[in-house]
Structure 1
Amino acid sequence: MGKVISLGELLIDFVPKEKGKSLKDILEFEKAAGGAPANVAAAIAKLGGKAAFIGKVGNDGFGHFLEETLQRTGVLTNFVVKSDEYKTALAFVTNQDNGEREFMFYRDPSADMMLTAEEVDEQWFEEGDIYHFGSVSLIGHPVREATVEALRIAQEKGLIISFDPNVRLALWDDAEAAKECILRYFKQAHIVKISDEELYFLTGIENEREAVHQLFGGINELVVVTKGALGSVIYTRDYCQSVGAMKVEAIDTTGAGDAFVGGLLFFLQKEMKSSSLIDFLKSEGKAREMVSFAGKCGAIATTRRGAIPALPALEDVVKSY
Structure 2
Amino acid sequence: MTVYCIGELLIDFVAEKQGSDLSKANQFTKKPGGAPANVACAIAKLGGISRFIGSVGKDPFGSFLLKVLETNNVDISLAQRSKTFTTLAFVSLAEDGERDFVFSRGADKKLKYDSSIKKGFKGNIVHLGAATALLGGDLENAYSRYFFDALTQNAFISFDPNFRGDLWKDEEEVFIKKCRTFIEKSHFCKFSLDEAQLLSGETDLEKACEVLHEIGSPIVTVTLGSQGTFISTPTTKTTVPSVRVSPVDTTGAGDAFIGCLLFQISTLNDPHQILKNTTLLTEMVAKANRAGAITTTNFGAIPSLPTWEQLSDFE
TM over 0.5: yes
Q: How many residues align?
A: 313
Distance 2:110 2:14 in 1: 25
Distance 1:194 1:21 in 2: 22
The answer for the alignment partner of 1:73 in structure 2 is: 72
Distance 2:7 2:160 in 1: 11
Structure 2 portions without partners, runs of 5+: none
The answer for the alignment partner of 1:104 in structure 2 is: 102
CA gap 1:41/1:28 in 2 versus in 1, 3 angstroms:
same
The answer for the alignment partner of 1:22 in structure 2 is: 21
CA gap 1:87/1:212 in 2 versus in 1, 3 angstroms:
same
CA gap 1:120/1:43 in 2 versus in 1, 3 angstroms:
farther
Amino acid at match of 2:99: R
Match of 1:310 among 270, 292, 304: 304
Match of 1:88 among 86, 89, 98: 86
Distance 1:90 1:276 in 2: 35
The answer for the alignment partner of 1:189 in structure 2 is: 186
The answer for the alignment partner of 2:162 in structure 1 is: 166
Contact 2:19 2:25 in 1 (8 A): no
The answer for the alignment partner of 2:249 in structure 1 is: 252
CA gap 1:206/1:25 in 2 versus in 1, 3 angstroms:
closer
Residue 24 of structure 1 and its aligned partner are, at CA, apart by 3.5
2:273 is the alignment partner of 1:275: no
Residue 211 of structure 1 and its aligned partner are, at CA, apart by 1.0
Distance 1:142 1:126 in 2: 20
Q: Deviations over 1:217-254 (max 9, x none)?
A: 46522100110001111111221121001111011000
Contact 1:267 1:293 in 2 (8 A): no
1:222-237 to 2 correspondence within 5 Å? Answer: 222-237=219-234
The answer for the alignment partner of 1:121 in structure 2 is: 116
Contact 1:169 1:178 in 2 (8 A): no
Contact 1:187 1:219 in 2 (8 A): yes
2:44 is the alignment partner of 1:49: no
CA gap 1:219/1:177 in 2 versus in 1, 3 angstroms:
closer
CA gap 1:114/1:294 in 2 versus in 1, 3 angstroms:
same
The answer for the alignment partner of 1:299 in structure 2 is: 293
Distance 1:320 1:63 in 2: 33
Q: Deviations over 1:177-221 (max 9, x none)?
A: 112211222112100000111111222312111111112146522
Distance 1:126 1:152 in 2: 11
- Computed over aligned residues only, the root mean square deviation of the Cα atoms, in angstroms, reads 1.5
- Percent identity over paired residues: 39
Distance 1:126 1:201 in 2: 30
Distance 1:186 1:136 in 2: 17
3-state DSSP of counterpart to 1:182: helix
Amino acid at match of 1:245: S
CA gap 1:169/1:136 in 2 versus in 1, 3 angstroms:
same
Amino acid at match of 2:182: Y
| Deviation larger for 44-53 or 163-172 | 163-172
Distance 1:125 1:155 in 2: 12
Distance 1:65 1:142 in 2: 23
Structure 1 portions without partners, runs of 5+: none
Distance 2:231 2:26 in 1: 42
TM-score by length of 2: 0.95
Residue 283 of structure 1 and its aligned partner are, at CA, apart by 1.9
Amino acid at match of 1:105: F
Contact 1:16 1:95 in 2 (8 A): yes
3-state DSSP of counterpart to 1:162: strand
Distance 1:55 1:217 in 2: 31
2:177 is the alignment partner of 1:180: yes
Contact 2:134 2:175 in 1 (8 A): no
The answer for the alignment partner of 1:264 in structure 2 is: 261
Contact 1:221 1:236 in 2 (8 A): yes
Q: Which runs of 4+ in 1 moved over 3 A?
A: none
Distance 2:259 2:5 in 1: 10
Residue 176 of structure 1 and its aligned partner are, at CA, apart by 1.5
